[in-house]
Chains A and B, each alone.
Chain A
Amino acid sequence: MTDARDFLATDMLSAYLDGELTDTERAEVEAQLAESAEWRAELDDVRGARTMLRAVAEQDAPEGFWDAVMAGVVAADDAPVEGEEDDAPAAATVVSLDEKRRGPGRWIATAFAAAAAVALAVIIVPSRDTVKPDVATAVVQHGAQGSDLGDPIGTITPVGPLAGFRR
């Protein structure tokens, strides 16, 4: 029981919403939700974030993005935790959210939250326009520009593009 409650954090609620908990775990979560307004508010937050994420279009992360994120996760996980003691007491029977946030698993949760935040930023930030260069027109314009600006050679270059440009 105690072990299970150690994981009663945001990811636990997320798993609860996904129906991924065992019957026992689900019963524990529901009991906690029935007792605590704080847990219910947390559940609402998780549900809202999931809804928002599902409402936006998927977009591939840029090359190297996940490598950079995971490098940050590893660095955060390895970093020493200020004030953390090796002989921390065993988890209490009932753990408040504040305590949960200060608990030993918080760095993993923090890392996941950071990754999720960055992913969310990537998804909801306005995407750049996709550019489809008109290469054939660019070639013709180059020739025309050169001829019109007094380039003696460029005068004839507009004849080129139509001679064999790929479609």
Chain B
Amino acid sequence: MTHPPRPVRPVRRALVGLLALGALAVAWPGGAFGTSSPSEQAQQLLERTRQAAATHDFSGWVTVTWRDGATVRKAEVEVTDAGGVVEARVNGNVVYDSGTRTYVKDGNRWTGIAVGPADGETPSAAAHWKLTTRPGPEVAGRSTTQVVASRRDGTVAQRTAVDDATGLLLQREVLTKNGKVERALVFTELDLGATTTHVTAPAGLHAQQSSTITTVPDGFVAPSALGNATLVTRAKQSDGVLLWYSDGLFSTSVFEQRGTLDWTALPDGGTDTSMRGTTMRRYSEPSGTVLVWERDGVVYTCVSDAPADVFDASVTALTAPERSSLERVADFVLGPFGWN
């Protein structure tokens, strides 16, 4: 089922814009992109997928795999998109994205998550990645075109398979510099057409508040870029600030909270790592990598869907050479008064 494009529909963009590609795909690769370069064609294909999810209803199953240390984990996720509301179910838990709000149902507990609007342009992926296209694999019985994004050294960072008929993103693989798949998702079943979501977020649900800001409060830091990723959005939340960076292909969220990190409160299963003298806790999750650390009285929780090498290189902007013991004592004593 095809809908007119909605002005404010986030999640659907990736999956619905594929229909718009339908006519385009018919002409692929000859006339669709005219005389544009391969990189421009790939960029255009990625941009079209942003509209696809907003204009198509569908239901299906997605297999998510990710590398967690030496272990490769897998999950089967049921996904539906109805009228722009995307719902993902895993073992009775639900992520329910209604646009400006995302709700999470964990058992019987609902949590509302606010999503601030963008206050900057998302950069072009072609500016930092070498993009190429080629015939893709058949995914869920559908023919696709593959968009390959490579690092400057030529190693592949990401492969995405875009449905030729609809423009929906059907497969995504993020790769290490050594060519191993770090995490992947792929539709194993896809049914296009009218569907309905199964759940509705309860009325009166307490939801996190978030408001866009132009500058971060004193004590927080907001570099204009993390590696090649540009700062797109700053938002103030009740317990800190949220920064969102994008390089057009991958994105990184930075949550900053003032205080002392309670390492014992972090989830089990992470591994400790050190970056420029800063101790961090690392988690590998289905949708990305998480790094948590404390520096100068601010606790950072960063999440990124980028390959680990790209993510690690980018967050160095938020770390610093190790401070001396005396400097740390001064930070600790004077920090609460803003004297340092």
Contacts and interface: CB of A to CB of B under 8 A. Distances in A.
Contacts of B232: 149
A141 B242 contact: yes
Interface stretch (A26-34, A36-44, A102-110, A122-130): A122-130
Interface in A146-162: 146-162
B273 interface: no
Contact of A142 (B122, B208, B287, B326): B287
Contacts of B56: none
A124 to B, nearest CB: 11
Given A135-B290, A147-B14, A159-B287, A166 B94 contact: no
A19 interface: no
B227 interface: no
A157 to B, nearest CB: 4
Interface in A42-57: none
Nearest to B15: A155
B277 interface: no
A2 interface: no
Nearest to B100: A148
Size class of the contact patch on chain B: 35 or more
Contacts of B299: 131, 133
B121 to A, nearest CB: 9
Contacts, number: 249
A162 B104 contact: yes
A138 to B, nearest CB: 5
A24 to B, nearest CB: 41
A62 interface: yes
B145 interface: no
A165 B332 contact: no
B325 A135 contact: no
A139 B13 contact: no
A149 to B, nearest CB: 4
B265 interface: yes
A155 B303 contact: no
A96 interface: no
B129 interface: no
B261 A150 contact: no
A148 B232 CA distance: 12
Contacts of B325: 63-65, 67-68
Contact of B286 (A63, A137, A160): A160
Contacts of B303: 138-139, 141-142
Interface stretch (B24-32, B136-144, B192-200, B251-259): B251-259
B129 to A, nearest CB: 12
Contact of B336 (A128, A155, A166): A128
Given A145-B115, A163-B286, A166-B269, A138 B255 contact: yes
B13 A65 contact: no
Contacts of A97: none
A131 B293 CA distance: 11
A133 B255 contact: yes
A142 B15 contact: no
Interface of A: 62-65, 67-68, 118, 121-122, 125-133, 135-167
Given A155-B11, A155-B53, 20 more contacts: A63-B325, A63-B328, A125-B337, A139-B285, A141-B303, A142-B287, A142-B304, A142-B305, A146-B246, A147-B11, A148-B11, A148-B99, A148-B100, A151-B246, A156-B14, A157-B305, A159-B79, A162-B88, A164-B75, A166-B268
Closest A-B pairs by Cβ, 10 of them? A155-B14, A160-B287, A64-B325, A148-B10, A163-B75, A160-B286, A159-B88, A132-B265, A144-B102, A129-B259
